[in-house]
Structure 1
Amino acid sequence: MKKNQKIHILFSEKSNIAAVLRRGPTRWYHLMKWDLNTNEFIHGSWIKARIYEEKCDISFDGRYLLYSLHKGSLLGTDYTDSYTALSEIPSFTALALWPQGSTYLGGGRFLDKNLIGVYALPFMYPIHHSHKDVKGYELINLNWTIDRHKDENILLNADWSKQVSKNKQIAIFEYKIYIIENDKAVLFQDLTNLHPPK
């Protein structure tokens, strides 16, 4: 993963759905849903915050996103300035939310169809009173790193790339997503000129 990578794609363990995170302009993120079988691409919500992509994950069925963020404007509220949340893709609206009060650790991984491992769970505040819908998931503390969204270095000149099947790769260059099949690259989505709502 490049330091200033613009697009991050999270692939679910057991479905054809991916979550796409677009970073930019400064402090803004946009969430999208991608059906890898049909190539349906749905634009979702925007949020003004710093999301820690490496701490995010998508559920096994591709329905939910677990994400960790810092939002300074919430300092002094019962959300604190940092939290981990569960939302339904492609929305950032928190179904369940755990205030952290720190950007140290937080976030986590889906471990099974009904189990979430959260980094440093004992150091989080109790679940927020307005966001308590865990959708049947149980939370456990996760004290080891699971990286299933790493850069696989398929294309060394890409910002990120991944082999998704025998003859198919996905590659990101800046704000553009390419699908490469049988050595032929096709621009799938150009997300360059997207802007948050005013």
Structure 2
Amino acid sequence: MSAPPCRLYVLVAMDAPVALIIRRGPADWWHLLRWDLERRVVEPGAWFGGMLYPRRCDISPDGRYFGYFALRNGRAPWDAFFAVSRTPWLSALAAWQTYGTYTIGCRFTRDGSLTISGAMQERPFHGRFPNKVAVEVGHTNWVRRDIQNELKRGWRPPREPLDLPLDPDEAAVVIQRTRPTGHGTALILAHTGVDFQRHSIEGVQVRYFRKDRDGRITPLPDAAWADWDHGGRLLLATREGRVAIHEQKTVQDRRKGTWTETWTHDLRDLEPAPAPAPDWAEGW
């Protein structure tokens, strides 16, 4: 019996053409990769044997730093902690002890500050963070937690109900994001619940759709994650384990709603290969 495909999630920097790919598999191995969206290059980084929570993580606006929540076998305080590292590595430059898994997430701002939501200590037990840090009590809106990274990037509930091809018993929370370059095209995300028995990141079940300028809605069944980059290209992480860029090359493409895959990178058949972080990733 073949192993299940790897699971992918992506964080896109707000102010730089950089993304961080978070890959799970095989089993409890995680792998970080830096995706240079301008050069269309994927650079491998850390391997981690434990548990990461990608939907509770964030990447700094300039793409240089990664805020993450992790669990691993070991003695406290390194058994459950929140940390900041250099992308795409996990060498903690600052780390805070958390009280179990009740950590909601984090948020970097453009001025360099960091807000962490959850049950945790306010002072780092390891290293230091050079800018302002705020620790706040986490909320209990679990769906909001699952889609908080989308909300940070401008996804919002639609102003009017959308006629999505969902099963009658699927109760969905729907958000959408209009393409940054306009032309009336939008991406739609339907959060349909949590099921840890199904292949997903943190058990969260999502379905993606594209709404074209004429209002036509097209399902994206292969998408495990999707978003726009700064230039309006469609970024995808597929359920089979690839990342891809789709584009509309001509005015005619935009009129017809035609998208072409112009680049892809296969992340399926990777084996864990832990290695020390480079020297530059060990300091601010």
Give me the TM-score of the superposition, normalised by structure 2.
Answer: 0.60
CA distance in 2, matches of 1:167, 1:111: 22
1:84 and 1:107 in contact (8 A); partners too:
no
1:96 and 1:127 in contact (8 A); partners too:
no
CA distance in 2, matches of 1:49, 1:106: 18
5+ residue gaps in structure 1? none
Which residue is 1:115 aligned to? 113
Matches within 5 A, 1:139-150: 139-141=134-136, 143=138, 147-149=148-150
| Cα RMSD for the two superposed structures | 2.4
Matches within 5 A, 1:1-198: 6-71=7-72, 73-74=73-74, 77-120=75-118, 123-125=119-121, 127-129=123-125, 131-141=126-136, 143=138, 147-149=148-150, 152=189, 153=208, 154=210, 155-157=219-221, 158-164=223-229, 168-173=233-238, 174-182=240-248, 183-197=259-273
CA distance in 1, matches of 2:113, 2:136: 11
**Count of residue correspondences:** 189
Q: CA deviation at 1:29?
A: 0.6
The verdict on how the C-alpha distance between 1:39 and 1:137 changes in structure 2, with shifts beyond 3 A counting, is farther
1:5 and 1:159 in contact (8 A); partners too:
no
Please give the per-residue CA displacement for 1:18-76, whole angstroms capped at 9, x wherever unaligned: 111001111111011112112232100101111111100000111000011111x11xx
The verdict on how the C-alpha distance between 1:27 and 1:180 changes in structure 2, with shifts beyond 3 A counting, is same
Aligned with 2:109: secondary structure? strand
The verdict on how the C-alpha distance between 1:189 and 1:128 changes in structure 2, with shifts beyond 3 A counting, is same
Give me the TM-score of the superposition, normalised by structure 1.
Answer: 0.84
Q: CA deviation at 1:92?
A: 0.8
Aligned with 2:55: secondary structure? helix
CA distance in 1, matches of 2:149, 2:124: 28
1:83 and 1:106 in contact (8 A); partners too:
no
2:122 and 2:135 in contact (8 A); partners too:
no
* Larger-Rg structure: 2
CA distance in 1, matches of 2:110, 2:230: 23
5+ residue gaps in structure 2? 152-187, 190-207, 211-218, 249-258, 275-284
Sequence identity of aligned pairs in percent? 26
CA distance in 2, matches of 1:5, 1:149: 22
CA distance in 2, matches of 1:61, 1:142: 26
Q: CA deviation at 1:113?
A: 2.8
